[in-house]
Amino acid sequence: MNLPVILRARRAIGKLTPIPADCGRLCGARCCHGGKNDGVLLLPGEEKLLFLSPGLEKGKSENGRSYAFCRGKCVRRFRPFLCRIYPLGILLRGERILVTADPRAKRTCPLLLAPEYLSPAFIGAVRRAGEILKGDPEGRAFLRDLTKELRDYHRFIG
Ligand code: SF4
Ligand code: SF4
């Protein structure tokens, strides 16, 4: 994916966070513990930006998708796109972008126990980022794969 598209999607989230406070203080930043099995999926081409955050290492899955692995630290303003939208996920249904809870976050993130406290501005920004990705052929393909993955997780995790 072109870097300008990736940057636009990242910028759509900007400084918005799931709640208007440092939620990491609620839970001890559970989603940022890092570890060799805790990679975050990257947008296609996003690996080119990893050099901006020295804490991040690139890895590949068996099916060739790129991941970033961290040890619980990164340069926050350069964190990967999917870290920015956590604990939410983006679904592509036909032409519609839907924002949903990421089923993988349900066991980790206390915010999903009380989703009514999630910031509407954050949810809206995640939707706008989804629209930006949808407008790019590779971004669209990424969203299709992500939708399938989130649905599969939903079937198993609930
Ligand atoms: S697990 Fe949820 S509450 Fe904790 S830091 Fe991550 S997003 Fe915030
Ligand atoms: S890359 Fe940064 S934001 Fe993402 S999980 Fe690691 S420490 Fe957290």
Question: Per the structure block, which two tokens stand in for 156?
Answer: 């198993």
Residues in contact with 110: Cβ distance below 8 Å, sequence separation at least 6, in sequence order: 23, 26, 27
* Predicted TM-score of the model (pTM): 0.94
What's the Cα-to-Cα distance from 156 to each of 51, 89, 141, 152, 153, rounded to whole Å?
A: 35, 16, 23, 7, 5
Residues paired with residue 88 on neighbouring β-strands, in sequence order: 101
Give the residue whose CA is nearest to atom 3 of ligand 1: 23
E-state strands within the chain: 40-41, 57-60, 66-69, 88-93, 96-101
CA 137 to chain centroid: 19
- Domain of 48 in residue numbering reads as 3-157
Q: CA quadruple 100, 103, 108, 113: dihedral positive or negative?
A: positive
Distance in Å, CA 137 to ligand 1 centroid: 31
Distance in Å, CA 145 to ligand 2 centroid: 22
Q: 158 falls in which pLDDT band (50, 70, 90)? A: low
85: phi then psi, degrees, rounded to nearest 5: -100, -5
Residue list, ligand 1 pocket, CB within 6 Å: 18, 23-24, 26-27, 29-31, 86-87, 108-111
Distance in Å, CA 56 to ligand 2 centroid: 8
Q: What is the pLDDT of residues 16-74, one digit of tens each?
A: 999 999 999 989 999 998 766 778 999 999 999 999 998 899 998 888 899 999 988 89
d(CA 67, CA 101): 21
Distance in Å, CA 14 to ligand 1 centroid: 17
Q: What is the pLDDT of residues 108-130, one digit of tens each?
A: 999 999 999 999 999 999 999 99
d(CA 78, CA 13): 12
Give the residue whose CA is nearest to atom 8 of ligand 2: 32
- Number of structural domains in the chain: 1
